Amino acid sequence: NAGVTQTPKFQVLKTGQSMTLQCAQDMNHNSMYWYRQDPGMGLRLIYYSASEGTTDKGEVPNGYNVSRLNKREFSLRLESAAPSQTSVYFCASSEAQLGEAFFGQGTRLTVV
Amino acid sequence: GQQLNQSPQSMFIQEGEDVSMNCTSSSIFNTWLWYKQDPGEGPVLLIALYKAGELTSNGRLTAQFGITRKDSFLNISASIPSDVGIYFCAGQPVGTYKYIFGTGTRLKVLA
Find chain B residues with C-beta within 8 A of A94's C-beta.
97, 99
Binned at pLDDT 50, 70 and 90, residue A96 comes out as low
* Residues B74 and B20: beta-carbon distance below 8 Å: yes
Find chain B residues with C-beta within 8 A of A5's C-beta.
none
B41, B98, B103 member nearest A48 (Cβ): B98
A42, A90, A103 member nearest B102 (Cβ): A42
Residue B25 is predicted with a pLDDT of: 92
Inter-chain contact B33–A102, Cβ cutoff 8 Å? Answer: no
Give SS3 for B82: helix
**Residue A12's beta-bridge partner residues?**
A110
Average pLDDT over residues B39-58: 93
Inter-chain contact A105–B44, Cβ cutoff 8 Å? Answer: no
Instruction: Decide if B95 touches A, using CB distance below 8 A.
Output: no
Binned at pLDDT 50, 70 and 90, residue A2 comes out as confident
CA-CA distance, B32 to A95, in Å (whole number)?
Answer: 15
Residue-wise pLDDT tens digits, B91-100: 988 888 788 8
Give SS3 for A95: coil
Round the average pLDDT of chain B to a whole number and report it: 92
DSSP state of A102: E
Round the average pLDDT of chain A to a whole number and report it: 93
Express as a percent the part of chain B with pLDDT over 70: 97
Inter-chain contact B42–A104, Cβ cutoff 8 Å? Answer: yes
